[in-house]
């Protein structure tokens, strides 16, 4: 089984915070993709945003990253911000089945993500 990674982009407007997600029959999921051979998980997400979706990743800033359990698999989730989201950018994401959704509509997604309560460094001291 190929290792997976997930990514999302946050942007804020008058309505609130929006997250990049993928709609599914069960609600919404973070954008998940396989880790590219020879690349780190972070590099895989950035490569996909640039080459598959076609956005300017030089605008992005890494806001946060966590190790989370998504569908019983531990996955690195990278959260970016600072992207200027206009209609052209929205259209690029929509072509890949992705959309920006208000955080207030993503309660089920956030509740389904299990984040480890200890950092990996804590385990090194034992």
DSSP letter for each residue of 24-61: ETTEEE-EEEEPPTTS-HHHHHHHIIIIII---GGG-E
Average pLDDT over residues 20-27: 93
For residue 101, pLDDT beyond 80: yes
Sequence-distant (≥ 6) Cβ neighbours of residue 49 within 8 angstroms: 7, 55, 57, 60
Cα separation, 5 vs 84, whole angstroms? 23
What the block records as the tokens of 96 is 């890949």
For residue 98, pLDDT beyond 80: yes
Share of the chain above pLDDT 70, in %: 90
Taken in order of first residue, the domains within the chain and their CATH numbers are: 4-121 (3.90.79.10)
For tokens 């309505």, name the residue. 15
**Top mean-pLDDT range of 38-52, 61-75, 98-112:** 38-52
Which of 60-64, 90-94, 105-109, 116-120 is the least confident region? Answer: 116-120
Q: Does the reported pTM lie above 0.85? A: yes
The CA-based dihedral angle spanning residues 74, 76, 77, 81, taken in that order and rounded to the nearest 10 degrees: 170
If you ran DSSP here, which 8-state letter would residue 118 be given? S
**Higher-scoring residue by pLDDT: 49, 112:** 49
């Amino acid at each position: 089984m190929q290792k997976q990674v997930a990514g999302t982009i946050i942007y804020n407007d008058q309505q609130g915070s929006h997250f990049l997600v993928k709609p599914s029959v069960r609600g919404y999921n973070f954008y998940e993709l396989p880790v590219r051979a020879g690349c780190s998980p972070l590099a895989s997400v950035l490569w996909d945003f640039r080459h598959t979706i076609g956005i300017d990743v030089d605008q992005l800033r890494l806001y946060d990253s966590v190790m989370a359990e998504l569908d019983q698999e531990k996955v690195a989730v990278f959260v970016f911000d600072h992207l200027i989201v206009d209609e052209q950018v929205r259209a690029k994401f929509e072509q890949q089945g992705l959309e920006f959704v208000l955080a207030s509509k993503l309660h089920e997604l956030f509740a389904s993500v299990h984040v480890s309560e200890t950092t990996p460094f804590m385990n090194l001291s034992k």
